[in-house]
């Protein structure tokens, strides 16, 4: 009975000071951090997770001792490791990577759905209201105008694939009709 009164008294104090929600959120964050750390450890990865609102960051150490720093913020994911930085953006954060090669054509007026930037290359997922055939013709002409050599072109009805090369780099474009929109997947990398 005495324990019940102590618990009720503590709850009343927390409620009176208005700290109940903050304490509850903090406890929830800490529990989630521990669950994520435990889950990652099952895969042999040591991690220290830090959750703050919509942001989560953690550092992992694999079995070989290599560390990677991971940060998730809204629709963005950034992984920094010994091999370089990988950035993924999706949803509302879909935007052109700042270091996207200027000599690679990006369809004007297309919406960036997502982007992926890795030490070995970049990928853009785009969407446009333009018809598939127009998009394919535009890429064929614009990539050639930017100095890229056409390696192959395949048209399979709803989908077309184009590949290009320039110096020590390759670029591939997959264009697919999807109802009223056309999806474009553009990948650039080194050979």
SS3 47: strand
Cα separation of 136 and 170, whole Å? Answer: 17
Assess whether 133 and 50 both reside in one domain.
Answer: no
CA 108 to chain centre: 22
| In a shared domain, residues 59 and 143 | no
In this structure, the answer to whether residues 43 and 97 fall within a common structural domain is: no
Query: What CATH number has the domain bearing residue 97?
Result: 3.40.1000
Residue 108 belongs to what domain range?
75-191
Residues 61-109: tens digit of each pLDDT:
877 888 888 888 777 778 888 888 887 777 655 667 788 899 999 999 9
Does 96 fall in a domain? yes
Tell me the percentage of the chain whose pLDDT exceeds 70. Answer: 81
Within 8 A by CB and 6+ apart from 52, the residues are 29
Give the residue from 73, 90, 108 where a domain finishes: 73
Q: Which two tokens stand for residue 78?
A: 């950034």
User: What pLDDT does 8 receive?
Assistant: 34
What is the pLDDT at residue 1? 37
Report how many domains make up the chain: 2
In a domain, 98, yes or no: yes
- The pLDDT tens digits of the residues spanning 14-30 come to 334 444 446 666 777 77
Judgement on whether residues 95 and 158 belong to the same structural domain of the protein:
yes
pLDDT at 19: 44
Residue 117, in any domain of the structure: yes
- 166 vs 59, residue with greater confidence: 166
Q: What pLDDT does residue 24 have? A: 64
- Is 103 among the domain residues? yes
Report, as an integer, the average pLDDT of 105-133: 91
Interior/surface letters 64-102, b for 16+ CB within 10 angstroms, e for the rest: eeeebebbbeeebbbbeeeeeebbbbbeebbeeeeebee
Do residue 109 and residue 187 come from a single domain?
yes
Note the pLDDT of residue 164: 97
Last residue within a domain, chosen from 28, 51, 73: 73
CB atoms within 10 A of CB 118: 15
| 117 and 92 in a common domain | yes
* Residue 173 confidence (pLDDT) above 70: yes
* DSSP-derived 3-state class of residue 161: strand
Instruction: For residue 137, tell me if it sits in a domain.
Output: yes
Assessment of whether the complete model's pTM goes beyond 0.85: no
The mean pLDDT of 120-143, rounded to a whole number, is: 95
- Check pLDDT > 50 for residue 187: yes
């Amino acid at each position: 009975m005495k324990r019940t009164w102590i618990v009720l008294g503590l709850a009343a104090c927390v409620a009176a000071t208005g700290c109940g929600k903050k304490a509850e959120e903090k406890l929830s964050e800490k529990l989630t951090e521990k669950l994520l750390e435990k889950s990652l450890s099952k895969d042999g990865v040591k991690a220290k997770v830090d959750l703050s609102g919509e942001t989560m960051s953690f550092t992992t150490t694999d079995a070989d001792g290599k560390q990677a720093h991971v940060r998730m913020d809204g629709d963005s994911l950034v992984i920094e490791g010994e091999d370089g930085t990988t950035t993924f953006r999706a949803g509302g954060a879909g935007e052109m990577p700042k270091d996207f090669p200027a000599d690679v054509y990006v369809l004007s007026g297309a919406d960036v759905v997502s982007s992926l930037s890795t030490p070995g290359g970049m990928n853009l997922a785009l969407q446009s209201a333009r018809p598939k055939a127009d998009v394919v013709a535009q890429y064929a002409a614009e990539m050639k105008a930017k100095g890229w050599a056409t390696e192959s072109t395949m048209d399979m009805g709803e989908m077309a694939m184009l590949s290009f090369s320039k110096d020590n780099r390759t670029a591939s474009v997959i264009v697919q009709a999807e109802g009223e929109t056309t999806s474009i997947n553009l990948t650039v990398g080194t050979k």
